[in-house]
Amino acid sequence: EGQLMGWDEHIMLIAHCVHKYSDQMVIVGNTGSNNTYEAIRATEQGFAVGMDVALQINPYYGKTSSEGMIAHFEKVLDLGPCIIYNVPGRTGQDIPPEIIEPLAKNKNLVGIKECMGTKRIKYYETHGIACWSGNDDQSHDSRHEGRSHGVISVAANVIPKTMRKLMDSPQPELNKKLKVFFDWLFCEPNPIPLNTIMPMLGLAKPVFRLPYVPLNLDQREKGLQLF
């Protein structure tokens, strides 16, 4: 729910995660912004309280030119290690390879979280640019056919060991079985189904911020049947 949080809440959450999980790498989304100044300030503060890597999104709604997008990412890359997150379904604008490839020369570009499918991921990996799938339902093929580094996953919040198994070795039958769960997990915009199922399984408290509301009873019952 990062987009529903204020910047002070962001920094407090990052600091809490660093304090609790300082023995692991802390990669933080939502320090990005469609406002370059805000992205810089939030990312600076995130690094100041101990995050290891920032997940940076391209400017959304107030979209910019290719040159403007490169300039935006160059500013945040100057601050420290970053993964660029390409999700046109949310931002309304693709980040194509002709933008990523010049940025890949920057030592702070860790890689790409890519939602444009296995073909795009395979292209990056064969050109020496680390890439993680951003789509759970495509992540198996992206890993074992596209040679991705793995997946930055929604489903892993609920079934982490299963998602790890899916990444560690080819599991076509398991991947096929998981399709029903993946479909349910995106029956409404993410993270609504995830935020609904986690309290139902005792993994989180049932707290929602508007405009998110829980799935209806029929949807919840269908979700429980999957477990």
Cα angle, residue 75 at apex, residues 74 and 77 outer, rounded to 5°: 60
Please tell me the predicted confidence (pLDDT) of residue 78.
Answer: 97
Separation CA 86–CA 33 (nearest Å): 13
Is 85 designated active site? yes
Please tell me the predicted confidence (pLDDT) of residue 30.
Answer: 83
pTM of model > 0.85: yes
Peptide linkage before 211 cis (omega within 30 of 0) = yes
Burial class (CB in 10 A: 0-12, 13-18, 19+), 208: middle
How many CB atoms sit inside 10 A of residue 161's CB?
Answer: 8
- CA 88, distance to chain mean position in Å, is 13
Per-block mean pLDDT, blocks of 10 residues, the chain (227 long)? 86 94 89 94 96 96 94 98 96 97 97 98 98 98 98 97 98 97 96 96 93 96 92
Of residues 21, 37, 85, 205, which has the active-site annotation? 85
Evaluate whether 19 touches 55 at the Cβ level (below 8 Å).
no
160-168 vs 136-144: helix crossing angle, rounded to 10: 30
Evaluate whether 125 touches 146 at the Cβ level (below 8 Å).
yes
Contact residues for 193 (Cβ-Cβ < 8 A; gap 6+)? 184, 185, 186, 187, 215, 219, 223
Please tell me the predicted confidence (pLDDT) of residue 33.
Answer: 92
Of residues 113, 123, 176, 179, which has the active-site annotation? 113
Separation CA 135–CA 126 (nearest Å): 20
Bridge partners (DSSP) listed for residue 55: 83
Is 20 designated active site? no
Please tell me the predicted confidence (pLDDT) of residue 29.
Answer: 84
Please tell me the predicted confidence (pLDDT) of residue 2.
Answer: 79
Enclosing H/E stretch for 64: none
Q: How many residues does the chain have?
A: 227
How many CB atoms sit inside 10 A of residue 123's CB?
Answer: 17
